[in-house]
Structure 1
Amino acid sequence: MPFRSPQSDEQNLGLTLTAPVRAAIREFVASIVPTVIPIVQGSADRITALLGSYLLKTDATATYSPLGHKHAASDITAGGTTASGFTVGGDLEVSGGVTATGAVTGDAGTFPSALNSTGVYGRQLTSSYKAVYIDAGGNFGFSPSPRAVKTNIRPWQPDTDVLLRIVPSLYQYKAEFTERDRRAALPEDDPDHDDDYQVATMLGVIADDLDELGLEEFIFRDETGALAGVHYELLALALLPVIQAQEARLSTIEQHLGLPGKEQP
């Protein structure tokens, strides 16, 4: 009697089912697949979203490739920041404005257009203050004066007659008239509207006049070489050689007239 291998239940079932029954089963299975696939896919999407949320919220100290992930603006701004705040190790570029309710600190910063602070204008300094200057690179700083940081020190001997030809002037800035006209032309409900804008009258010296007198050390120029302004902080120094020269002339006149001279300290 030839050997016959045992058959599985599935094989036995397949032998006992009629063709119509097998066709019905195949049709039933085929109808289930389109329904199951969206359910499985939806579950996979939910798992992916949960993992992404977990990585963003619970593993925030991890380092990710810059090209490996990104955050929507709402993910960063919603709820604000906690603990020590938001830290950026490199440059942070912002296309719009940046507003801070607290202090903004750092080693350096570049502002190509302007740097503005209305609070600085009204801040009173009572001690430990320095005169702040701006160099050609737009950097703020002070000008040190100790002998230890200077070299080639020598007396300045200007022509005092030229210094006496410096004439103070009253003037008004053209830009002030432009601003006055702009404010007057605004609608009356605009906060900047002002029919009574007053153009200020200033007191100073004219850079062109100093340039004509050859007093180049008292003026500064822009990057094109055109006259830009006056070193007003240096004008007080110009008085010292003038006073000294006047004092020497008075002493000479007193000696000539036989008058008692000024006692030397």
Structure 2
Amino acid sequence: MAVCAFALLVQPVLAQTWLVRQRGTVLEIAYGSGSHFPQYAALHLDSSYFRMVYSPQSGWGTSMILMPAFWSGGRYYQGTPVTASWRTEGSDLLLLISGTIASLRVSLEVRLSPPAKNSFIARVRTLNVTGNIALDNRPAEAFKPVMLSSMHVSTTQWDARVAYVEGRIYDLPSSGWVIYPAKTGSRFGLIGGTSRWKTNAPTMEVVLRQPRALQVTGWVTYSTNPNDDNVGFWAASAQLLRAWQYTLRATVTHPVGR
């Protein structure tokens, strides 16, 4: 009787992990294993703009501005250089980000969980806010701890198709207010998708944790250039906040329908 021996070839399973590298002023954040590390996020150190995608098949689209924006002394402040350090904690990646805008010094923690199927989540919270500013009297836009930045220049060229607050859809105008008067809410976002300009732009959703609700609205600056970030969509307070927390999610699934 012939005896046949079969050798089983067992492929080792490589643990997935984070890979962070800086290219110029951009911090590139990837997740994978072996030689395959697709990029899932980018932090622009010259402005604090933070972008996320839900999978390697997603296009880049809407950004979150991590540093607060505000009106003070008749001047608008938005975007500022930041420094960043990082470490892993369990399966999460922690980014520690600090920057100064006007006389306000802000330190934040951004906790990234491993990407799931068509979903990528960041949890953002303040660590320290020092300094003082006198805010202008500008309803629903005086102090913006949370702000999305995107592009919508026509019905066929956009990164964000529509906006939403608490399940209600709002079309993006060619210019002017997205919502007027502002709506009080804790869950809002910009819905992406595929346009003539961009394939698979992510839907970006914000869920406020602290404060539990703020005034939500946005503004569109008229433009015909698809390279312009002409859409701002934010949650605002009339007072300077010393602490805030929110969850940011990039997803292919539209959280709300018409």
Greater share of helix residues, 1 or 2? Answer: 1
- Highest Rg: 1 or 2? 1
Query: Of Structure 1 and Structure 2, which has the larger fraction of its residues in strand?
Result: 2
- In the superposition, the TM-score normalised over structure 2's length comes to 0.20
Q: Which TM-score applies when normalising by structure 1?
A: 0.20
